[in-house]
């Protein structure tokens, strides 16, 4: 098995309303890659959010009383905290500098995934602009995949990724937040190992494994490569959604 990750070059700074499928196909041509059935395109959340105009100027945000109270506890800008509350189902942990929430999309993350880095609005102080996650990353992935299929005819998968921390480890890794046409998990229960033993509990987070690997070639700072082409994914493509990867609250030992 050979699994190949290729960062996609020459993707311009994305603006609201840009067609990501067109930008990605142009980048594939620049990389001299011809799409094949079974390929996967991994896309950074940031360019999806920018294309969907999820930019917010903090000057336009009025903090609520809850936001003001939480801002004191977390030592964060009350306007930012207001956005965190709007984007979250529940606040789980708070300490100075950190707010951990259950995002409206269902996963656990810091600051509801709201980001300052590599974000610039149309006017005013760049420090006042932040970027929210896409409202529905599965839908965003589906639209990219559908538009690419219309143009090329290829059956591919699309994975939208973001950088998240983990409960057991230090540091962030790429994780899937939106899927279309590829599995979120691969259930290996019942598969045989080398000695014929049938696996009983092994469920592979295939989309997260792919996201983590892709993030190595896409980068996190000034690399300017917000997408990657993947060939050789070892599992069959199928329909899925982010819900496959979300652990039920009753099974979450960290709550």
Q: How many CB atoms lie within 10 A of CB 147?
A: 16
Q: What is the mean pLDDT of the chain?
A: 93
CATH topology for 55-131 is CofE-like fold (3.90.1660)
Q: Is 48 left (phi over 0), alpha (psi -120 to 50) or beta?
A: alpha
Lowest mean pLDDT among 9-23, 89-103, 213-227: 213-227
Three-state secondary structure of 86-153: HCEEEEEEEECCEEEEEECCCCEEEHHHCECCCCCCCCCCHHHEEECCCCCHHHHHHHHHHHHHHHHC
Q: What is the token pair recorded at 203?
A: 């469920």
β-strand partners of 41: 158, 229
Q: Of 21, 24, 20, which is closest to residue 10 (Cα–Cα)?
A: 24
Per-residue confidence (pLDDT) for residue 223, from 0 to 100: 56
pTM for the predicted model, two decimal places = 0.93
Q: Is the pLDDT of residue 100 over 80?
A: yes
Q: How many CB atoms lie within 10 A of CB 143?
A: 19
Per-residue pLDDT band at 133 (split at 50, 70, 90): very high
Residues 179, 159 contacting (CB under 8 angstroms): yes
Burial class (CB in 10 A: 0-12, 13-18, 19+), 198: exposed
Q: Of 53, 230, 247, 104, which is closest to residue 158 (Cα–Cα)?
A: 230
Per-residue pLDDT band at 221 (split at 50, 70, 90): low
Mean per-residue pLDDT, 76-93: 97
Per-residue confidence (pLDDT) for residue 209, from 0 to 100: 97
Residues in the chain: 255
DSSP 115: B
> What are the distances in angstroms from CA 241 to CA 106, 177, 232, 248?
12, 9, 21, 15
* Residue pointed to by tokens 């936001």: 67
Per-residue confidence (pLDDT) for residue 216, from 0 to 100: 94
Per-residue confidence (pLDDT) for residue 78, from 0 to 100: 98
DSSP 21: H
161 φ/ψ angles, rounded to the nearest 5 degrees: -125, 160
Q: Which CATH architecture has domain 4-51+134-242?
A: 2-Layer Sandwich (3.30)
- In tens, the pLDDT along 58-69 reads 999 999 999 999
Q: Is the pLDDT of residue 167 over 90?
A: no
Residues 230, 166 contacting (CB under 8 angstroms): no
- For a pLDDT cut of 70, what percent of the chain falls above it? 97
Q: Is the pLDDT of residue 123 over 80?
A: no
Strand ranges (E), 112-167: 129-131, 157-166
Domain ranges for the chain: 4-51+134-242, 55-131
Mean per-residue pLDDT, 124-152: 94
CA 61 to CA 46: how far, in whole Å? 21
Mean per-residue pLDDT, 182-208: 90
Per-residue confidence (pLDDT) for residue 220, from 0 to 100: 65
Q: Is the pLDDT of residue 150 over 80?
A: yes
Q: Cα–Cα–Cα angle for 187, 192, 196, nearest 5°? A: 160
6 φ/ψ angles, rounded to the nearest 5 degrees: -125, 115
Per-residue confidence (pLDDT) for residue 202, from 0 to 100: 87
Expressed in percent and rounded to 5, the helix, strand and coil fractions of the chain are: 30, 25, 40
């Amino acid at each position: 098995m050979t699994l190949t990750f290729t960062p996609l070059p020459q993707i311009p700074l994305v603006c609201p309303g840009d067609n990501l499928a067109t930008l990605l196909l142009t980048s594939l041509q620049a990389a001299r890659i011809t799409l094949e059935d079974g390929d996967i395109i991994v896309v950074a959340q940031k360019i999806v959010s920018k294309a969907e105009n999820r930019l917010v100027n903090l000057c336009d945000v009025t903090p609520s009383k809850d936001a003001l109270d939480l801002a004191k506890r977390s030592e964060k800008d009350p306007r930012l905290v207001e956005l965190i509350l709007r984007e979250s189902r529940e606040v789980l942990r708070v300490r100075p500098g950190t707010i951990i929430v259950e995002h409206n999309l269902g996963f656990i993350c810091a600051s509801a995934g709201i980001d300052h880095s590599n974000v610039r609005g149309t006017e005013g102080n760049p420090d006042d602009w932040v970027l929210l996650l896409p409202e529905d990353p599965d839908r965003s992935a589906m639209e990219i995949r559908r538009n690419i299929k219309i143009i090329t005819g290829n059956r591919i998968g699309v994975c939208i990724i973001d950088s998240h921390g983990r409960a057991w480890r230090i540091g962030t890794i790429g994780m899937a937040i939106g899927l279309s046409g590829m599995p979120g998990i691969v259930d290996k229960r019942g598969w045989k190992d080398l000695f014929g033993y049938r696996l009983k509990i092994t469920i592979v987070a295939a989309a997260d494994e792919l996201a983590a690997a892709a993030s190595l070639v896409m980068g996190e700072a000034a690399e300017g490569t917000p997408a990657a082409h993947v060939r050789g994914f070892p599992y069959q493509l199928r329909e899925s959604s982010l819900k496959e990867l979300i652990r039920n609250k009753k099974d979450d030992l960290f709550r």
